[in-house]
Amino acid sequence: MEIYLDNASTTEPFPEVIDAMMPYLSDEYGNPSTIYSIGRRTRKAIDEARDTVAGLLSVKSSEISFCSGATESICTLLIGAAFAAKEGRKKFVTSSIEHKAILKVAHWLMDYLDWEVTLIDPMPSGHINPKEFTEACSKGCGLASLQWVNNEIGTIQPIEEVGLKLKGMGIPFHTDVVQGIGKFPLDLGATGIAMASASSHKFYGPKGCGLSYIREGIDVRPLLVGGGQELERRAGTENVAGIVGTATALSVLARGQKAFVERLVELERIFFDTLNSSGIEYALNGGEPRVPGMMNIFFPGVESESLLLHADREGLCISAGSACASGSTEPSYVITALGGNRMRGLCSARVTFGWHNTNEDAITGAKTIGSIVAKLRGST
Ligand code: PLP
């Protein structure tokens, strides 16, 4: 039986999500753009899902559109906003520790639209200095993006401060909320954010679905054009089951928000208590504020690749940095950006708890890691 401690990579869908989706994978298969009743019913399901999501994020329904996931949302919003940027404002500001989806768009803007890109490095704690970020946006900036929560180390960025300042400066500001959803209440409307992207499978919803937030009045050119679906923002017949599953996942999370966060804090405490009693040397990457239950740990002298392979043999699923980076022996660019050396970037592993984990998972996970690290160091 596997112990799954890689919830930042993807999550097990809530049973309520599967139940809500099932009818739209079987009897309720109508195309939402048709006028007969089976199509009208799927249209209604999408409309209701949009209202639910908008209500939970404190924004208007017309500001939410569904797509295939965060990567699509990020590409669409950033490239679409760049095409709509004001004359003479061809500068994109973001951080050097963003997910690859953002960093690759930065390259795309340089390569294909001749934009200038400024990457802000984090402080050693893994946080971006809001003053440094907004100052970098003061001249010629046409677009900025900052992740809410880092996907490798869980640090929470000063989104409200940056968002409100950039709103005042008239700069469209996008945030990647992928790792933030469910970890704290998200009141997008109050933050000054112009655009946001999320993936449903990161918050106990289905894969292949995600959402975009575009504040009213923000100009984003659509990249997928055709049938005009999703408020003309993303053409193509909708993934009705995915959309319904997304709204259900968000509702379940919102209902249990406080208990969920308390649970993550508890699992993290149990994990570290157990790891400490194993006596092995380690250090946590990234400082506070950080989301609970997302720990990136440096084990000096133990390459994460070996640790992960041994863990897998014992049925423990953990990762080294982002999932997209696994399989590569390059050190984590996030850990090295914190000022860590190459060795720290190569010898750090990520453990992330989720809704389905038990206390036993935390204890066994920590014991397994402790004994593998000790074995790899040759101390047993
Ligand atoms: N942004 C962050 C912070 C992520 O963690 C991920 C996935 O790991 C993505 C974007 C991309 O999400 P997806 O692969 O679901 O499109």
pLDDT of residue 186: 83
Closest protein CA for atom 5 of ligand 1: 151
Note the pTM of the prediction, 2 decimals. 0.96
Percent helix, percent strand, percent coil in the chain, to nearest 5: 45, 15, 40
How many structural domains is the chain composed of? 2
pLDDT in tens, 39-88: 999 999 999 999 999 999 999 999 999 999 999 999 999 999 999 999 89
The CA–CA distances, whole Å, from 152 to 156, 182, 333 equal 11, 17, 10
Tokens representing 220? 């984003």
Q: Is the CB of 157 under 6 A from ligand 1?
A: no
d(CA 130, ligand 1 centre) in Å: 23
pLDDT in tens, 178-201: 999 989 888 888 889 999 999 999
CATH number at residue 359: 3.90.1150.10
d(CA 371, ligand 1 centre) in Å: 31
Same domain, 44 and 74: yes
State the closest ligand 1 atom to the C-alpha of 323, by its place in the atom list counted from 1. 8
The CA–CA distances, whole Å, from 44 to 34, 138, 260 equal 12, 44, 30
Which of the listed residues 6, 78, 99, 195 should we mutate to test ligand 1's pocket, taking the one with most ligand atoms within 8 A of CB?
Answer: 99
State the closest ligand 1 atom to the C-alpha of 69, by its place in the atom list counted from 1. 16
The CA–CA distances, whole Å, from 86 to 25, 253, 267 equal 43, 39, 48
pLDDT of residue 323: 46
Q: Is the CB of 193 under 6 A from ligand 1?
A: no
Whether 75 is catalytic: no
Q: Is the CB of 95 under 6 A from ligand 1?
A: no
Residue 373: pLDDT band by 50, 70, 90 thresholds? very high
Same domain, 65 and 207: yes
pLDDT of residue 12: 97
Residue 121 has pLDDT above 50, yes or no: yes
What DSSP character marks residue 234? S
Same domain, 151 and 233: yes
Q: Is the CB of 332 under 6 A from ligand 1?
A: no
CATH number at residue 56: 3.40.640.10
Same domain, 141 and 199: yes
pLDDT of residue 330: 86
Q: Is the CB of 98 under 6 A from ligand 1?
A: no
Using only C-alpha atoms, what is the Rg of the chain? 21
Q: To the nearest whole percent, how much of the chain has pLDDT over 90? A: 92
Asked if 379 and 291 touch (Cβ cutoff 8 Å), the reply is no
Range of the domain at 227: 15-255
d(CA 277, ligand 1 centre) in Å: 34
DSSP string, 285-304: SS-SSB-TTEEEEE-TT--H
CB pairs under 8 A, 24+ apart, for 226-230? 227/33, 229/32, 229/33, 230/65, 230/66, 230/67
pLDDT in tens, 235-269: 999 999 999 999 999 999 999 999 999 999 999 99
Q: Is the CB of 101 under 6 A from ligand 1?
A: yes
Same domain, 60 and 29: yes
d(CA 65, ligand 1 centre) in Å: 17
Q: Is the CB of 145 under 6 A from ligand 1?
A: no
